[in-house]
Structure 1
């Protein structure tokens, strides 16, 4: 028998008679540089969660890797062992070493009849992983944020076949559409399209795994601080909506109240009604005065004191060395009354300052607080966190996603 207990977002506990694994405990507010908060907030996660043998961290994003909580957890449960996947480029291990978080890179743990496997996913960015816990003929597959990748799924199925219980994503976080459009009607349309897209992703993953029970989870957050006004435009669904089209779906009650075991497949407590949107928005509004991390770091530092004309060309040189874009495509970042324009095409060596960007196509216009931009180009912050945290606004001409441009921006620092 394997039992799954749900705590919050991607945090679940998985127990067998021989071993227990706590997955992705995120309980520190203000991650993604100050913008992500929890709702509903679990008042005493340490007390509710209790003791586990292992703590599995799936990937480096701060709603999965929470070093502040991990230090607290290890102080209360010093025998717990933190385990992560063996990634070819192990950014998570590097980050943990820098944060002085003890951890083990591993692929497989066997204890009695229990097998624990961590399976990295190389698509699309090489940072995600899945966890499979197997005991006898029963199994649990924790897919958390993994995107559909047949090679990865084949490895998961190779460990457990069709899992008894699969935990899968059902909704999307990130900056789209709330930071890309300003018209409320357009935002409503794009948010609805996004919800439907992620429902289809959920169904594709569910169809590939064919579990007896699917638990839709993860991606549960609200934006705080000055960004709280964007919450209703994020296109983030409630997990309960999944039960309307997937008969295998079970939404467990959070806070450790809901659990489900592989032998009975009967949940102890389900959440059957969506969260109250008015209450959620009211709570988010109460966070309006919370500062972003760059507010705390830089205060009122004026734009004219930041040496962008020296820093940005150097950041461009670093990013261009890693570019994989084969065609002209321009990133345009606004700096007061002018723009810095970077051509992301491999080998283009084109970075310039101009007052007009209308002639550059295709282009991605970015407007961002200059203090935060300074932190990003100097490496204090990371562009991926800035994007997921909804910290800058974007406009694309034409309105087409360019993954190569996003990859270029992630290395746009000195």
Structure 2
């Protein structure tokens, strides 16, 4: 068996002439113009070639890019975890991509696709509402090899127990080592010094979680996977504060301190690893990058990047207040149906507006207030250009993606993360 790495969560597993591509993203400028690959790619979509299978873990563009999928082998079968609604299946059908088949595999229901190749899917942590709605993890038993790809799913005890009990010790675990979020980069209630401290705290916490997962799964090899990108364009300066490390090589320190150095697998973009021989082709050490090198690279290649919402403006006749009220009414219907009433107030703020909108999460009302007015109790202020705010309210840009793209400015009081609030924000659309 061989693994060919592209970068991010995109790689090909090849065994006995059968080729499976995982989470295709090979074009830059996803997430409405914000995300580019970093470390830079040394292999591109032209290098993919023939495919038998394509696994897509979830709908986010860094795992399911239309610009990449349009250029892949249509003879491939797409593998997707079963769920309702199934955003990936809907996406593939809506875009008429015409792959040979879409194979929907229910979680924890192993399916033998061909002799010697068993594919299984595992659901995310149910306590993570956003991940539970969209994400999946992959387990392969391919002849004598067991591969576990968690992609963006933070492994949880039930997931780890299932993989170990059903499949034993993985030959390779491909594990997340960080995550994409606007915190702390976009939080204006934090000073730059506080942002750096929070960045370092989160990186340390993620590193500890990575090591705990390695110890629990006990794989023969572990590959820090996914989460390899940088923000281009006018918000690029915020890369300094992002909580995800510059490269997967950041896991070397935690791995060494845990005495697990012999298990760490780092594969350059465009490099192949042979499981049987343990050799790389081409033979080359892993190329690490510093934060300063990342910024210099961004300065050289992304100066002309423009985000979708920077390319035009909605006229003054577009009724922003009406959209806010309609979106709030729709969200309130969901809250009442599910009895969810967080003790927070959303403050929607665009610099072009004379006033802000106050959206208490415990009532159906929407009020206007001056930007200087004091907001009582817990509140989350979300700032965005007017055009972007309208695009989010219309559902053309999701709040979650705008967050990952670092498009939004936040003020959070108190500075406490409530996942329910952020989940509900994603439903604030007409």
Q: TM-score, normalized by length of structure 2? A: 0.88
What residue is the counterpart of 2:67 in the other structure? 68
What residue is the counterpart of 1:380 in the other structure? 396
- Alpha-carbon separation, structure 2, partners of 1:258 and 1:18: 15
Q: Is the 8 A contact 2:268 2:287 kept in 1?
A: no
Q: Is the 8 A contact 1:252 1:270 kept in 2?
A: no
Q: Residue 231 of structure 1: SS of its match in structure 2?
A: helix
How many pairs are equivalent?
404
For residues 222-273 of structure 1, what are the alpha-carbon distances to aligned partners after superposition, in whole Å with 9 as ceiling and x for unaligned? 1011011111111221211212232244343323313141x44454546445
Q: Residue 417 of structure 2: SS of its match in structure 1?
A: coil
Q: Aligned ranges for residues 98-177 of structure 1 at < 5 Å?
A: 98-102=94-98, 104-107=102-105, 108-121=111-124, 123=126, 124=128, 125=130, 126=132, 127-177=134-184
Q: Residue 136 of structure 2: SS of its match in structure 1?
A: strand
For residues 263-304 of structure 1, what are the alpha-carbon distances to aligned partners after superposition, in whole Å with 9 as ceiling and x for unaligned? 4445454644521433321221231331101223xx1435x4
For residues 67-107 of structure 1, what are the alpha-carbon distances to aligned partners after superposition, in whole Å with 9 as ceiling and x for unaligned? 1111111xxx2312222111233122222222223451422
What residue is the counterpart of 1:311 in the other structure? 323
Q: Aligned ranges for residues 190-339 of structure 1 at < 5 Å?
A: 190-237=198-245, 238-246=247-255, 247-261=261-275, 263-268=276-281, 269=283, 271-286=285-300, 287-296=302-311, 299-301=312-314, 304-323=316-335, 325-335=340-350, 336-339=353-356
Q: Is the 8 A contact 1:10 1:218 kept in 2?
A: yes
2:84 counterpart of 1:84: no
Q: Which runs of 5+ in 2 are unaligned?
A: 106-110, 256-260
Q: Residue 54 of structure 2: SS of its match in structure 1?
A: strand
Q: Residue 123 of structure 2: SS of its match in structure 1?
A: strand
What residue is the counterpart of 1:358 in the other structure? 374
Q: Residue 360 of structure 1: SS of its match in structure 2?
A: coil
Provide closer, same or farther for how the CA distance between residues 35 and 313 of structure 1 changes in structure 2, counting only shifts above 3 A. same
What residue is the counterpart of 1:186 in the other structure? 194
What residue is the counterpart of 2:44 in the other structure? 45
Q: Is the 8 A contact 1:19 1:114 kept in 2?
A: no
What residue is the counterpart of 2:407 in the other structure? 391
Q: Which runs of 5+ in 1 are unaligned?
A: none
Provide closer, same or farther for how the CA distance between residues 167 and 244 of structure 1 changes in structure 2, counting only shifts above 3 A. same
What residue is the counterpart of 1:97 in the other structure? 93
Q: TM-score, normalized by length of structure 1? A: 0.91
Q: Residue 305 of structure 1: SS of its match in structure 2?
A: coil
Q: Is the 8 A contact 1:148 1:201 kept in 2?
A: no
